[in-house]
Amino acid sequence: MQDTKERIVSLADQLIKTRGYNAFSYKDISDPLEIKNAAIHYHFPTKTDLGVAVIEVELQHFIASTGRLVTQPEDKQLKFLFETFSKKHKEGLVCLMGSLSPDYETLPEPLQEKITDLSAAILKWTGACLEKGREKGLFRFEGDAYDRALLVISNLLASLLLSRVMGNKVFGRITNQLLRDLGAGK
């Protein structure tokens, strides 16, 4: 059973991934959780504090998840990343990067710093995975691995957003093509 603080963070995470950070209030959390706004303010005096907590939980989860993959071949590691995005797609969500990046300029500075940290961690891990995989012959691509990571992550983000507008099949088309382009797909 989650405690109140965890339930608040979990619901805020869902709201950010469905509506966006700027489109929800504490009332959107207090009503479904059947708590008073004061209970939210007790744990998170400001919405910024809550947003920072959401990103920190996501970053910790990413670090733990990718840490468990260290012994796996890089193609399996990359497929885990794709499966993470696929899960978001099936749940009708976008990821935190995809939700917060368009609003970056309107976000409070602590949130900007945290989303930058999360983005940097994801890109660094993806770049390292791609480079090691290329060295082992698991992937093929030209150019710098970090630059390729930028392309992969930006396409994964776009696949979640475009599938909302263009239909569910767009997600699979984009992700399958990305894997084929890397020599890791069908």
In a domain, 78, yes or no: yes
Average pLDDT value for the chain: 94
47 located within any domain? no
Indicate if the pLDDT at residue 180 is higher than 70. yes
Task: Provide the whole-model pTM.
Answer: 0.92
Residue 153 neighbours by CB under 8 Å, 6+ apart:
97, 122, 123, 126
pLDDT for res 159 = 94
For residue 132, what are the domain limits? Answer: 55-181
Would the CA dihedral through 45, 95, 138, 123 be positive or negative?
negative
Q: Give pLDDT tens digits for 1-60.
A: 569 999 999 999 999 999 999 999 999 999 999 999 999 999 999 999 999 999 999 999
Domain presence at residue 156: yes
pLDDT at 185 over 80: no
Domain count across the chain? 1
Give the pair of three-digit tokens for residue 96. 């935190």
Residue 103 maps to a domain = yes
Query: Does a structural domain hold residue 145?
Result: yes
Q: Answer yes or no: is 137 within a domain.
A: yes
| CA 24 and chain centroid, separation | 19
Per the domain annotation, does 186 fall within a domain?
no
- Which parts of the chain are beta strand (E)? none
Q: Return the residue matching tokens 């399958």.
A: 176
CATH number of domain containing 172: 1.10.357.10
Span 98-116, pLDDT tens digits? 999 999 999 999 999 999 9
For the cut 70, the answer to whether the pLDDT of residue 93 exceeds it is yes
The whole-angstrom separation of Cα 127 and Cα 67 is 15
**pLDDT class for 186, splitting at 50, 70, 90?**
low
Residue type, 163: S
Residue 4: inside a domain:
no
DSSP 8-state secondary structure symbol assigned to residue 102: G
